[in-house]
Chain A
Amino acid sequence: MTVPGAGSPGSRTARLRFALAATGALAMLFPVYWMVVTALSSPAELRSAELRLWPSAINWANFTGPWSKFPYPTWFLNSVVIAVTAVVLTVVINLMAGYAFAKLRFPGRNVLFILILSTLMVPVQVVMVPQFHLVVDFGMLGSNWGVIVPRLAEAFGLFMARQFMMAIPDELVEAAQVDGAGQLRIFTRVVLPLCKPLIAVLVIFTFMWRWNEFAWPLIVLKEAESYTLQVGLLFLKNQYGHDYGALLAMSLVSMIPMLVVFALFQRHFVEGMARSGIK
């Protein structure tokens, strides 16, 4: 949408504007580009006084070295298992709760919803000690479940699910009731088929949050074998000291799944974020 009076496309202002936007985009991209350059450079090259914008020789050792020296594949697998399990459980819980809070009247509904919503602004660090005690009590310390279960209470996803389902006309639900359908049937046959955009956004965002999560796995996971990628990267940083080529190569590999998801579903990210902002 162009603002009238702000110059038609192709005019000098429009070209200037594009140049500005493109320069900004290059600046935003630069750190990732620099990460790629560093990951492909040999240690000697990184220390040389000469500044090069592309390595003189591609050095793959940064990728192969740490991959075999540290349990990196295990960390990768742990991250996948945790993210996928958490996504499935969280999205199911949030869809069900979203339906209940949006379409079904039950005692305490509004109070509960406000209570849940108010936890949006609770920093992890406020509840980390009691949550840690719970994880210990449930015998989940050091396990994937210890990372997954306390994070199933995801207020933002629940909020998005409820807001989306509020927009589904009540008449659809009532019509199905008149036809004698039970609530489970209405939920799975009438409501969920209308929620595909919502499900996409919930899956993508939950995956991102769990894949990138750092503070909580850092608290729960103690053995190197049980680390997720994010905790493993910190471990590498402490072990590797100043071998930035290898460190950034491993960091780059850890980013690939997230960047692929982003490239494929970029529209959903932007829409999901914008939606959270409007409501």
Chain B
Amino acid sequence: MASVSSLPRETPAVPPPAGRGVRPARLRSRRSREAIAGLLFAAPAIAVFAVFMFWPLVKVVWISLQKTSGFGIARWVGLRNYQDILADPIFWRALLNTTLYTALSVPLCLVAGLAAALLLNKRMPARGLLRAIYYMPAVISGVSSALIAVWMFNEDLGIVNRLLDLLGLDPVHWQSEGLPAMLSLVAVGLWIGLGFNMVVYLAALQGIPRQVYEAARCDGASRWQTLRSITIPSLAPTTFFLVVIGIINSFQVFDIVYVMTGGGPGNSTTMLVTYAYTTGFEQRQQGYASAIGVLLYLIVLVMTIVQWRVNRRRDTP
């Protein structure tokens, strides 16, 4: 945190606040003044969070217990939506697809991000520019990234199949076959996510003390041994953080899927979030969509808790 450490550390010696511990009455009034100020400063944030986050999180459960179509009258149906979802093959397909996408893209982003960080942690010409280039896709919108990809993965005219053709390989049905379509999404996810993983790993690499490496060199450790027994274990907390963030992000992948494949072909790239969107706002079954949302939330919540548990157990053997 370079910018924080540059804050003035050595503040001039401050006399102890006059009222502290001497006159309790004044102290109390100062405390309550501080509390009022605190509430006032936080009030705008509390208000928007209360109205647009906390309340919707409660209300989504309520809506998920109703049957709504269009803007018509909502009918109370209890757990009916949940029963329907559990018997809905598209829901299970979406869950499977989301899991598959996550299982492919999170490790890929981690490995590629670590490799890029290890490379760009070394002194080399134009290092800053190279780092910026690796990070750049992260600032391009999901829609624009998806539009480039739709064209590059075009089955007849796209550059990917043309290059495969030049190499003497058969064209791949990126847009009309399920698995290739999923792989094209993973490729775009990697392009977007690599830079973030690299930047976080780069910051963590700065935190490994040089002396450790010097000691390893004195002991005659090879470069591979150093990487395996010093660098990667030292980066474990960072890796854990990136896995958690990666999973949460992959479970929310919407923009590139909606624009690139629209969930197709068939439902082979339908994700939980795209399915929730299409049921809620294209088919206008808002109760059903809310129930999917609640389940999605529970899944993300459980995964986060499990991950923290696992990590804590590993930290305290």
Interface residue from B139, B143, B207, B290 paired with A234 (Cβ < 8 Å) = B143
Is A233 a contact partner of B148 (Cβ separation < 8 A)?
Answer: no
A67 in contact (CB, < 8 A): no
Is B49 a contact partner of A116 (Cβ separation < 8 A)?
Answer: yes
Is B42 a contact partner of A4 (Cβ separation < 8 A)?
Answer: no
Residues of B within 8 Å of A18, CB to CB, are 124-125
A224 in contact (CB, < 8 A): no
Interface residue from A21, A104, A150, A219 paired with B41 (Cβ < 8 Å) = A104
Query: A238 to nearest B CB, angstroms?
Result: 10
Q: How many residues of A contact B (CB 8 A)?
A: 109
Smallest CB gap from A247: residue in B: B147
How many residue pairs between the two chains, A and B, have CB atoms under 8 Å in the bound complex?
Answer: 339
Is B41 a contact partner of A214 (Cβ separation < 8 A)?
Answer: no
Is A128 a contact partner of B217 (Cβ separation < 8 A)?
Answer: no
Is B139 a contact partner of A269 (Cβ separation < 8 A)?
Answer: yes
A172 in contact (CB, < 8 A): yes
Is B252 a contact partner of A125 (Cβ separation < 8 A)?
Answer: yes
| Bound-state Cα–Cα, A96 to B42, Å | 6
B87 in contact (CB, < 8 A): no
Query: B250 to nearest A CB, angstroms?
Result: 11
A9 in contact (CB, < 8 A): yes
B273 in contact (CB, < 8 A): yes
| Bound-state Cα–Cα, A232 to B211, Å | 55
B101 in contact (CB, < 8 A): no
Is A105 a contact partner of B11 (Cβ separation < 8 A)?
Answer: no
Residues of B within 8 Å of A119, CB to CB, are 49, 53-54, 57
| Bound-state Cα–Cα, A202 to B274, Å | 29
Interface residue from B41, B213, B214, B296 paired with A126 (Cβ < 8 Å) = B296
| Bound-state Cα–Cα, A96 to B37, Å | 11
Residues of A within 8 Å of B9, CB to CB, are 169
Residues of A within 8 Å of B133, CB to CB, are 25, 28-29
**Residues 160 to 217 of chain B near chain A (Cβ within 8 Å):** 162, 166, 191, 194-196, 199-200, 202-207, 210, 213-214, 216-217
A47 in contact (CB, < 8 A): yes
Residues of B within 8 Å of A3, CB to CB, are 121-122, 213, 226
- Can you list 25 A-B contacts with CB-CB less than 8 angstroms, sorted by A residue number? A3-B226, A5-B217, A5-B226, A17-B122, A34-B148, A96-B45, A100-B40, A105-B38, A106-B36, A109-B38, A115-B49, A122-B57, A124-B273, A128-B277, A130-B60, A134-B52, A149-B52, A169-B9, A215-B255, A219-B277, A258-B141, A262-B139, A266-B135, A273-B200, A275-B3
- Which B residues have a C-beta under 8 Å from some C-beta of A? 1-4, 7-9, 11-12, 14-15, 17-18, 31, 34-42, 44-46, 48-49, 51-57, 59-60, 63, 116, 119-125, 128, 130-137, 139-145, 147-152, 154, 157, 159, 162, 166, 191, 194-196, 199-200, 202-207, 210, 213-214, 216-217, 223, 226, 238, 241-242, 248, 251-252, 254-255, 258-259, 272-273, 276-277, 280-281, 286, 289-290, 292-294, 296-297, 300-301, 304
